[in-house]
Amino acid sequence: MSTGEALRDAPAAPRWFTELFAHRRWIRRTGPFPHVYARDVFVPDFYQRLAEEFERVSAQQPAVFTPVSDEYSATGVQLNALPKGPLALFLSREWHDLIAGVAGVATTGDVEASLHHNPPGSPTGWPHSDLSPAWFAGPPPGQDEVRTPDAAVDLKTGARSSTVTARETVRAVAVLFYLANPGWKAGDGGETALYEHIAGVTPVPALTVPPLDNSMVLFECTPRSWHTFVGNNAAARNSVVMWLHRPMSDVLRRWGGERIAQW
């Protein structure tokens, strides 16, 4: 494990952006697979704005939180479906470039980002790598842009009308930022489990990341980036979950198509 200041690996960013961060002590860990962990990511005032916006969305627009998938206990809403507010930071090019730089991955500028809510008593998930395909409409975004999912293209399958063009990418970097989980303590559940291997009937995590407010874990999506949600949680687990993407050709060249986790 390295306690080097991982944030310094990111490209230069405007002052308004860098002043949102509380410090540069983002910790690089090598096991069970390479990942970066940070506590107190943002300055208190900005974190409070993020948490209040989450609470406002979940209280005023509960109907927008829909099941993430048929086999996943969380409900969620894509950030690009919400009015502009502090949570839009996660859809900015500055944030995209920061995360890509820290992860050391060449990415396309395509971003998935959602609020996730796991209610109390949610079941534990299954270990997965997140090395999954995702389809985006139109040409790749420019250097100062990001592209988010478009309703005209099925994100998972690429299904669309004959008049819509789309590109197939693969998830490249996963980010979980925890917020609106006040008072979390050990034993409450809701952690993110990281695995060295997934052999056996019930794989045992090598490490669990607690859902502490204003903390974050990020990692490159590879065939071995196995992780899952730890359920039987005593309180709700809330987070921003997002992915950056890379070209399909990069994954085929590096690992081969058989290592991609198809939907």
Under a CB-based contact definition with an 8 Å cutoff, are residues 138 and 165 in contact?
yes
Q: What is the pLDDT of residue 131?
A: 98
How many domains in the chain? 1
pLDDT value of position 27 = 97
Query: What is the pTM (predicted TM-score) of this model?
Result: 0.95
Here the CATH number for the domain that contains residue 126 is: 2.60.120.620
Whether residue 207 lies inside any domain: the answer is yes
What is residue 62's predicted lDDT score, i.e. its pLDDT? Answer: 72
Q: Is residue 1 part of a domain?
A: no
AA letter at 60: Q
Structure tokens at 72: 């996943």
Q: What is the pLDDT of residue 177?
A: 98
pLDDT tens digit string along 88-121? 999 999 999 999 999 999 999 999 999 999 999 9
What's the domain range around 106? 6-259
Report which secondary-structure segment, H or E, holds 60: helix 44-60
Supply the pLDDT for residue 40.
98
**Separation CA 260–CA 151 (nearest Å):** 24
Which pLDDT value is given to residue 64? 82
CA distance 161 to 11: 38
pLDDT beneath 50, residues of the chain: 3
Residue 260's contacts (CB-CB under 8 Å, 6 or more residues apart) are 131, 132, 133, 170, 251
- pLDDT score of 65: 86
225-234 confidence digits (pLDDT tens): 999 999 999 9
